[in-house]
Structure 1
Amino acid sequence: MLKIMVKIIVGTLILLLLACLALQMDDELDEDQISFMKLSETPAQSDAYFYLLGLAVDKNKDPISEGKKLYEGIKLIENHNQRANYLDQKPIQLMLDKSIFPEDELLCSVGQSECMTVIDNNLDRIPQLLSKNTLFIKRYQTFLHLDDYHTLTQPSVDEPFPPYEYLSMATRIINLQQIWQASQGKQAQAINALYQSHEQLRKLLTKQDMLIGKLIVLNLLSENIDAINLLAMTHNLTLSTPLLLLTKQDRSLVNSFSRDARGGYQLYSKLDRAENIFSSNLSSPHIPSWVTRILYKPNMTTNQSNKWYLYFAMLSELPANEFVQEVQLSDRIPAIKTHWIRNSIGTVLSQVSVPNYQEYIADFWDMDSKIQLFNAALNNNEISDIIDTTKSIYADQKNIAPYLSEDKKQLCFDSPIHSEPKYNCLKIKL
């Protein structure tokens, strides 16, 4: 009897050991995930990225050289995981020359009514502001002519963003510069300069490989269109040059979501066999790595979590009506498979809610609505004519015609995604 009991115990232990060994095994990464993440592999060099980092350094220093120094500091932090030190030191901010980086109430968004009031009340201050920021604008123009822009940092939840505020301030200075020029009787030159700025922003939009970068430049494009339209209304100018709708490449978020997928994979890989996976407190009790491996598999987690990025990347390149149809078919959203035995922790991580990227993608289509309204206004002075002859890019919309806003100062299109107008309106009265 004793021998039988011993055999049962030994057999049970062997089975448990085999089960533990089997539960150490992870799946292979899906081929489509591997291919997708490769789309945004970080290059070793980008003079445009270095230049953006160093755009506002001391006037006697070279932006590319100083940008490289900043990047080397960021790389050191990435390699040694010194996140706290990076956040404390804020090396990019420490390098800024406040006499170069512009700060002024006049540098507001011209699409906002209070902004134009501030500008109109302070026209006499514009020349001094422009003179003060000559070097900043010169550097910005140099940056725009560099064609190799890539974000060089490694994607992660806490990676430092490039200083996009430089782009915002530079665009607003240019808008301000042309508002001043038009006020001095040079309306044609001012309008032409804003059209040129529009083309530069379109190129910059295409180059962006981070979601936040794409959205920031898209917003600057909206401000540029507002500036052109406001100048024309202020000076009773007739515009003759239509704007092109966004291209598939302008709208595409494939590289952005590919970077996010890589960031997710790197995070999940770092958690592999982590003994403190349940807590960020280093003094908390540690779990043996083999136990963690039973509960968590990085590849299985990646294969499920990153399905979302593949899906949203696909959505960003669909035509307008196909995009809306896809969004309305909620059953097409990727289902996350659960693996409560082999990957219980990873299953929880995979089910963490993600941002509503559909709304971000819709921003680009709403911009097309704004451009369409701008172009319609070129040939029609009568609002009723614009409403009668202009149709929504969303052919399946219930209301495909534009309409006047409640204050009668804007023409707007309905958006099937956004409940509140964002880029799908154009101001027609001051």
Structure 2
Amino acid sequence: MKLSDYATLTLQYHDLAVPNYRYLFVGSRLKLLRAMQTIDEVGVDRVLDDLLVDIEQLTRQVETSDDYIHQMVMCRLVAVNLDLIATLINKYSVVSNARLTQLDFGEMGMSRPLISKLPMIHEATKLLDGNPELFDYDGYIPGWMIRLIYKPNMTTNMVTEQYWPKYIQLSKLSASEFASKHAAYTTFHMNGSIRNVFGTMFLLMVGTDEYQKIMGRVHDLNSKLLLINYLLSGKSLPLNNPYGAGYSVIQNDKKVCFEGPLTDEHGIRCIDVM
């Protein structure tokens, strides 16, 4: 058993402290710089093999995480490290038989973080029930009035019956399926009850597109792994966009990029080929 094999055992409250991930980025960058310094001593192939093993370990964190913040931090860390590895491959004209493995989430897809968030949502709905002042800026709404139009258990049931199953289904799609179907998950029409007006409003106020962006980020990282394998092969592997025929491959003298269904603010779907 490894640390990555364990699930988060704490109950996830909305106000849980976020770990300081800056040290992970700093430590990873120092390790990469140290590897670059030892190239003349041990050879570029040895250094590259070690760095690729590190990438495999980091992608394992992405696959097994049941916390979206941790998963997204690991995605960003892997993407940054892959960019540096691409620089190394380009600088030394490396051609290797080594290949990075695509992310594999198994039968659960990317649903682990979704499932782990259910207790947090239930705790949040109970918190609103016990604190009617949260519904009003001045805090003058009496508790009995809140209980007439807000039912925490009904709100949680709406999540588990209408809201979450759709996203769990979305989390299990391949990249091409995600690209063609994600737009259908942008808007949900809740079948609420007149006895739970505030509960329905609360769920509609929760952003429904954030989970799509998170899943899209993971698919983008998978596409970057394909691009690294393309570089490792000496640019001999075919470049097929994992999002399907409707999305092109953009190439020039400096970069290769995959088009995708969501905006790629950080250039995860791109790799330098200079």
TM-score (norm 1): 0.57
- Local SS of the residue matching 1:240: coil
Is 1:159 the counterpart of 2:16? The answer is: yes
2:263 to 401, 415, 418: 418
Is 1:342 the counterpart of 2:195? The answer is: yes
Cα distance, 1:183–1:223 mapped onto 2, change above 3 Å: farther
Cα distance, 1:258–1:145 mapped onto 2, change above 3 Å: closer
Cα distance, 1:251–1:258 mapped onto 2, change above 3 Å: closer
Residue 410 of structure 1 deviates from its aligned partner by: 0.9
* In structure 2, distance between residues paired with 1:424 and 1:398: 12
Alignment of 1:134-283 (within 5 A): 145-184=2-41, 186-249=43-106, 252-272=109-129, 274-279=131-136
Residue 215 of structure 1 deviates from its aligned partner by: 1.0
| Higher RCO (CA-CA < 8 Å; seq separation 6+) | 2
* In structure 2, distance between residues paired with 1:344 and 1:208: 34
Residue 298 of structure 1 deviates from its aligned partner by: 0.6
Alignment of 1:23-422 (within 5 A): 145-184=2-41, 186-249=43-106, 252-272=109-129, 274-279=131-136, 284-285=139-140, 287=142, 289-305=143-159, 307-329=162-184, 334-339=188-193, 341-354=194-207, 355-381=209-235, 389-399=238-248, 402-405=249-252, 408-418=253-263, 422=267
* In structure 1, distance between residues paired with 2:2 and 2:113: 22
Residue 210 of structure 1 deviates from its aligned partner by: 0.8
* In structure 2, distance between residues paired with 1:278 and 1:328: 31
Residue 366 of structure 1 deviates from its aligned partner by: 1.6
Aligned 8 A contact 2:221 2:268 in 1 = yes
Cα distance, 1:250–1:210 mapped onto 2, change above 3 Å: farther
Cα distance, 1:358–1:425 mapped onto 2, change above 3 Å: same
* In structure 2, distance between residues paired with 1:293 and 1:334: 25
Identity %: 24
Residue 414 of structure 1 deviates from its aligned partner by: 0.9
Deviations 1:192-214 (A, max 9, x none): 21012112112222232111111
Aligned 8 A contact 2:102 2:225 in 1 = yes
Residue 345 of structure 1 deviates from its aligned partner by: 1.6
Residue 152 of structure 1 deviates from its aligned partner by: 4.0
Residue 187 of structure 1 deviates from its aligned partner by: 1.7
Structure 1 regions of 5+ residues with no counterpart?
1-143
Which shifted more, 172-181 or 305-314?
Answer: 305-314
* In structure 2, distance between residues paired with 1:351 and 1:397: 31
Cα distance, 1:285–1:376 mapped onto 2, change above 3 Å: closer
Aligned 8 A contact 1:271 1:277 in 2 = yes
* In structure 2, distance between residues paired with 1:328 and 1:266: 29
Deviations 1:271-295 (A, max 9, x none): 22544343476xx4461x3332112
Cα distance, 1:275–1:296 mapped onto 2, change above 3 Å: same
Aligned 8 A contact 1:226 1:426 in 2 = yes
Residue 236 of structure 1 deviates from its aligned partner by: 2.7
Residue 330 of structure 1 deviates from its aligned partner by: 5.3
Aligned 8 A contact 1:164 1:216 in 2 = yes
- Local SS of the residue matching 1:242: coil
Residue 185 of structure 1 deviates from its aligned partner by: 5.7
Match of 1:140 in 2: none
* In structure 2, distance between residues paired with 1:235 and 1:273: 63
* In structure 1, distance between residues paired with 2:181 and 2:211: 13
- Local SS of the residue matching 2:244: coil
* In structure 1, distance between residues paired with 2:107 and 2:229: 19
Residue 250 of structure 1 deviates from its aligned partner by: 11
* In structure 1, distance between residues paired with 2:234 and 2:134: 63
Structure 2 regions of 5+ residues with no counterpart?
none
Deviations 1:154-195 (A, max 9, x none): 322221123322322222222111111125563222112101
Number of aligned residue pairs: give it.
Answer: 272
Amino acid at match of 1:315: L
* In structure 2, distance between residues paired with 1:216 and 1:207: 13
